[in-house]
Structure 1
Amino acid sequence: MAEIAETADTPVREVAILCSGVALGVYLPGLEIARRLRSHGVRGRVFVLEAFQPADVEDALIRARERHQRDFRALRMSQQLVRDISPTLDAAALAALAARLDAAGTTHLLALSGFWLPWAAAYARERAHCTLEALHIDSVPSPSWLPYAQRPEFAQAEHRYFIDRAAPRAAFRLEIGEAAPVAHAQRPPELLLHGGGWSVGTFASAVDDVLAAGYRASIVRGSAADLQPREGVRNLLLDPQWRAWRDTGPEQLGEFPRLGFADADGELRYRQSDAVPDLFGITRASLAVVSKPGGSTLIDSMAAATPVLFLAPSGKHEQANAEAWIALGYGAWFEQWREDGAQREALERMHARLLRDRAQVPEYCRQLAAELDAR
């Protein structure tokens, strides 16, 4: 997308999008927001938390991902032990970031990860012209926010949620790319299975049920070792060497991860779109997504009008997401759908509700740009 032209008549508004690259659940929405804001005349800049941590953090993160892929219970337990990571952040790098935001005239900080909150709150407190927004991808605060829930910084931020659990309703949606949702009748009998950015959860065990019900499966595997050819299955792999914090750096707009498509002989062909995540294109064409209830998965669901069949959640925040989505008629528990006959008609009804309701849900970037204009 071309840079925004700045003239005296069209001042450029600058938003700093503070996310994390360790999992894609907040990183991808951050990139999508940055791109969409630019279509509204707002320059969104993405900053990745891990770029401000020591180099040895990367090894620890990769080990944690591999451990959680092997043992989903370990992920659930680790989420209960989340602590403030501020002491691990590079003070000099953060000071340089503050200077860069000052030079750009940044007036709005948009934090998608709670780990940014102490630094972002301090930055905004010292600059009367700068506001701080905590944008929650999930319907309740996810683990990265919990260490700060009782601290003054939490109350300092304006909190907004994509899902209003109390209603329940989708409070906002994201427009991803320019293409409209694919009509249900035009979608092949195929389901997409994945485990979020870390490929964790029980999704791999659902393949047999999907095939037995007469559907094909696209599945995002956790590693190259899992790319075993199978009739009716398209194997996919997020590039295991790609790192949001290493490949894009803290000052750039950011790149979507490379997605590998496995040939029959197991050879991978990678794609990397600049406009939308390549996996979103598969979401648009699928009858449903089978996954744990991550907030980013629900953002994709609304954008593509593709229902979600939920597997076991990783924590209370994902449980809340699933309950809200099911109450709205946009999804179902996978086991319940299977026991009810794995009917395509049920998926069509969910698709129709998503398609009907999404037109009434405010598009987040359009609303934020209007609010910035009104200041």
Structure 2
Amino acid sequence: MPPITLLASGFGLGFYVPALLIRNRLERSHVECETVVLEHYFHSEKKLKIPESRKAYRDDFATALVAQRLPMDVRDSFDPGAVEELLDRWEREERRDFIVLSGHWVHVLRRYERRLSGRYSLRVDLVYMDSEPSPSWKSLKKLVPDYADGYREIRLFDADRAAVLYRLPVGAEEPVPYERRSPRFVVHGGGWAMGTYLGKLDSLRRTGAGLDIVVSEPSEAEAGRAGDRCFLIDPAWEAWQETGPDGRHPFPPFGEVVPGRPTAFASPKEHHALFGLLREALAIVSKTGGGTLVDSLESATPLVMLEPFGSHERRNAELWERLGFGISYERWERSGFAIDMLHGMHRNLMKARESGQDYIQSRISG
């Protein structure tokens, strides 16, 4: 039987890390699969512009907010020869089972279907990581209004129904009991390290808790205080590179930044390294991307929510607050940074984990 093909993207780690989590879960169930990253099939000059955009968005969050509202059509970014080689291989191997995490991949899938001319049908899950479609899906809808015809749409989270519809388990370990956790907060800006999180450090330090801060470059670690730890994704790494020890896509290489010492980056096999910090923390302080919702739910770690990156993250924040899984930073600050509030959210998250349906298990059994 041909493997399940997981169609990921490096535009945001919220479309990349979940693909690897799905890969691991499938392989533990002895289901063969392959992860394919969108940007690998871009023209070289388009790939080179991605780090430039990332830096611009980190430096100016307002610019990033404007840019994500603009329609995106990535079809001109594809290298036609590379895409044809990919489709040749899929056709040769009779690939017919796909899980899609970025809307931009649908353009390629429709080309593949035209090639097949009805010789066999595809089984395609479109997995939405956010509680409303993120920009790649919204742009696709404008270009191809009927893009989901014949495909199954999977929503992990639904703001309208105020529900977690599916879980995406991370590793095999159960959440750490709240009473045994370290008095620390994990502070980050999502996969691209964007947003207002660095501006909250001084007020968070006044709580007396230790901070685990994910920075975007080593220089940001130099202004820390005793008790802080700073971590970094390897700046030289790009998601489309198959640099893992097994020749496949690795979890983001991650390491602690200690001034005066080279950073030792590592990519755990079971899950992204950040998750190990989240399991031990009292709270995640971050904007509300879909990947962060998965991390919060699977670690049962409350989410203190910062300014969202677009309407989809705003809807995510509304959902998490309504379900009692998170709280806005401003509201938590007005409470005097009450830890008891967070403990109650942890209990709510634990209950949700017990009742949630495992997406991969349902995919295998269905």
- With the shorter chain as reference, the TM-score category is over 0.9
SS in 1 for 2:71: coil
After superposition, where does 1:91-106 map in structure 2 within 5 Å?
91-106=80-95
* C-alpha distance in structure 2 between counterparts of 1:248 and 1:140, whole Å: 32
2:200 pairs with one of 175, 186, 206: 206
The 5 A counterparts of 1:258-297 are: 258-263=253-258, 265=260, 267-297=262-292
Mapped pair 1:82 → 2:76 = no
1:137-163 CA distance string (max 9 Å, x none): 001110011122142323343211110
**One-letter code of the match for 2:355?**
Q
Report Cα offsets for 1:258-278 as digits up to 9, x if no partner.
112022546423222111111
1:255 to 208, 230, 250: 250
Distance 1:103 1:302 in 2: 40
Residue correspondence of structure 1 range 193-232 to structure 2 within 5 A: 193-228=187-222, 229-232=224-227
For 1:285-364, what aligned pairs fall within 5 Å after superposition? 285-364=280-359
| Number of residue-to-residue matches in the alignment | 359
Match of 1:233 among 228, 249, 256: 228
Report the TM-score, using the length of structure 1 for normalisation. Answer: 0.91
Equivalent position of 1:45 in the other structure: 34
Amino acid of the structure 2 residue aligned with 1:313: P
Quote the offset at 1:180 in angstroms.
0.8
Deviates more, 1:359-368 or 1:146-155: 146-155
Question: The residue matched to 1:188 in structure 2 has which SS?
Answer: coil
Change (3 A) 1:130 1:297: same
Instruction: Give the 3-state SS of the residue equivalent to 1:208 in structure 2.
Output: helix
TM-superposed CA distance for 1:364, in Å, is 0.9
Q: How does 1:127-166 map to 2 (within 5 A)?
A: 127=118, 128-150=120-142, 151=144, 152-166=146-160
| Structure 2 residue aligned with 1:179 | 173
Whole-angstrom CA distance in 2 between matches of 1:148 and 1:23: 17
Deviation at 1:166, TM superposition (A): 1.8
Q: What's the C-alpha RMSD, in Å, of the aligned pairs?
A: 1.8
Give the match for residue 240 of structure 2: 245
Residue identity in the other structure for 1:147: S
Aligned to 2:185: 191
Closer, same or farther: CA 53–40 of 1 in aligned 2, 3 Å: same
Query: How big is each residue's C-alpha offset from its partner over 1:293-316, in whole Å with a ceiling of 9 and x where there is no partner?
Result: 000000111111111110000100
Q: Which amino acid aligns with 1:301?
A: S
Distance 1:252 1:26, change over 3 A: farther
| 1:15 paired residue number | 4
Q: Which residue of 1 aligns with 2:15?
A: 26
Cα distance in 2 between the residues matched to 1:302 and 1:104: 37
2: distance between equivalents of 1:175 and 1:356? 15
Q: 1:83 to 1:263 in 2, by over 3 A?
A: closer
- List alignment gaps of at least 5 residues for structure 2: none
- The letter for the 2-side match of 1:269 is A
Amino acid at match of 1:336: R
What TM-score does the superposition give when structure 2 sets the normalisation length?
0.94
For structure 1, which runs of at least 5 residues remain unmatched after alignment?
1-11
